[in-house]
Structure 1
Amino acid sequence: MKNPEQPKLAAVLLAAGGSSRLGQSKQLVEVDGVSLARRTAELLLGLEIVSLTVVTGCCSDEVLCEIESLAVDAVVNSGWRKGLGGSIAHGVRGIPGEVDGLMLMLCDQWRVDRTDLMRLVHLWQQDVSQVCVSSWRSGNALASGPPVIFPRHLIPKLKGLKNKDGAKPVIENYSRVKRVEIENAAFDLDTPEDLEALISRSAQPR
């Protein structure tokens, strides 16, 4: 439940991609018997957010079946092949207008957990006018990307996205960006090798 004294945070889960390199729908790949689409939606719903919008596209009927019992708003981006920017715009247009911030997350970030997300949220709550983005080591440099939280005044820019680079241009053109090192954010599901890593990790004793 949302604490009324805390800033209002909405979330958009991006689950529209076609997974061409993987050879199957990443949204429907299961971790411990739960599809990535449902697992990530449940993870976000466990935060103190005011709404969750799930953007589907490829295999939308199957993905919608996975999340139909959850308290989410679902939108279908029929133009998902045009790139991530359009999916972000679709999702952002459906969020409540009175929020203080918006979190974006990809459904295939299978190693991100509640602790990771809470670190991001807590940093943003210290100053809701900043962008808070996940970062991780990539060779000798730091890479960055989702999950990411945007302040309210940048939401209109997200609504106008049409590019293949997603929200990256919005982040790069904003001066107040804070990074949280979240190594788990580096892991996604794009290739058969990524799937092998997921299966191997899932098979390890807990």
Structure 2
Amino acid sequence: MSQSSNIIIAILAAGASTRMGSPKQLLNWGEKTIINHSISTARNTLAKEVIVVLGANNETVKSHVIDNSVSIVVNKNWKEGLGKSIAHSAEYVLNSYENFDGLLIVLADQPLVTSEYLDDIIKAFCPNKNEIIATLYNQDKVGVPTLFDNAYFNDLAQLSGDEGAKSILKKYMDFVKVLCPDFENLDIDTKAQYEILRNKVSK
């Protein structure tokens, strides 16, 4: 990984996978599990550091992580939703690093996200200008992966609930840049979604 930026990537993987019926972080994706695929994707970018936020089944998922260069953070309050994992990421970075320009939030269950696209986000970011770089979905939906300038860390640290950082994107809309990926930015929540997506990729 070329460390030519001052960006930290946080991979959020704290959910209980209730709709899946088993930890989706450990599903196969190519020759790796989804969690290890996500870590490999993040590590092969311009990011300075990569942290992984676990919660439900954290001991089991952690035992399958093969890259010991990433920092594993456990969100004990994972039941409070995605926002709490983002808050936990921001608090960890604030307490662990002296020098960083921003935090790039990535979801482990979006396996179509590429290292190249994450680098596009990092390259589009101008530090110290209060920028937020977000990703465009279908029907004008904006969300993760999203890169937040370090100016927003106090806001991020206050998040909770399942809405993630949508409230921050709405509050600071004038500072948001939106990128459109060249792939469908899909989440995996159910076994049916997983099979459909995996079949698409394998063709």
TM-score by length of 2: 0.90
1:112 aligns with 2:110: no
Instruction: Tell me how far apart the structure 1 counterparts of residues 59 and 10 of structure 2 sit (CA, whole Å).
Output: 18
Task: For 1:92 and 1:188, locate their aligned partners in 2 and report how far apart those are by CA, in whole Å.
Answer: 22
Secondary structure of the structure 2 residue equivalent to 1:195:
helix
CA distance in 2, matches of 1:74, 1:135: 28
- Other-structure match for 2:98: 97
Task: Please tell me whether the aligned partners of residues 57 and 79 of structure 1 are also in contact (alpha carbons under 8 angstroms).
Answer: yes
Residue of structure 1 in register with 2:175 after alignment: 176
Residues 23-56 of structure 1: per-residue CA shift (max 9 Å, x gap): 2211111111211111111111111222211110
SS state at 1:37 partner? helix
Q: Which moved more, 1:195-204 or 1:156-165?
A: 195-204
Does the 8 Å contact 1:53/1:94 carry over to 2? Answer: no
Counterpart position of 2:141: 143
1:167 aligned to 2:171? no
* Mapping 1:12-23, distance limit 5 Å: 12-23=10-21
Structure 2 counterparts to residues 16-95 of structure 1, below 5 A: 16-95=14-93
TM-score of the aligned structures, taking structure 1 as reference length: 0.89
User: After alignment, is 98-107 or 180-189 more displaced?
Assistant: 180-189
After superposition, the Cα gap between the structure-2 partners of 1:203 and 1:185, relative to the gap in structure 1 and judged at 3 Å, is: closer
Q: CA deviation at 1:15?
A: 0.4
Letter in 2 for 1:105: V
- More deviation in 62-71 or 111-120? 62-71
Letter in 2 for 1:190: D
Q: 1:60 to 1:155 in 2, by over 3 A?
A: same
Tell me by how many angstroms 1:173 deviates: 0.3
Counterpart residue type for residue 110 of structure 1: P
Q: How many residues align?
A: 198
Cα contact 1:53–1:74 (8 A) shared by 2: yes
Q: 1:126-176: per-residue Cα shift (whole Å, max 9, x none)?
A: 875310000022xxx211111000011001111121222111111110021
8 Å Cα contact 2:127/2:149 also seen in 1? no
> Which residue of the partner structure matches residue 134 of structure 1?
135
The letter for the 2-side match of 1:186 is: N
Asked if the contact 2:36–2:66 (Cα under 8 Å) also holds between the matched residues in 1, the reply is no
Structure 1: 5+ residue runs without aligned partners? Answer: none
Rounded to whole Å, the distance in 1 between the matches of 2:153 and 2:77 is: 21
Is there any run of 5+ residues in structure 2 with no aligned partner, and where? Answer: none
CA drift of 1:13 comes to 0.7
Contact 2:46 2:119 (C-alpha < 8 Å) held by counterparts = no
Deviation by residue 1:46-73 (Cα, 9 ceiling, x = unmatched): 1122221111011111211222533111
Q: Name the SS of the counterpart of 1:156 in structure 2.
A: helix
In structure 2, C-alpha distance between the alignment counterparts of 1:142 and 1:23, rounded to whole Å: 31
Assess if the C-alpha contact under 8 Å between 1:100 and 1:128 holds in 2: no
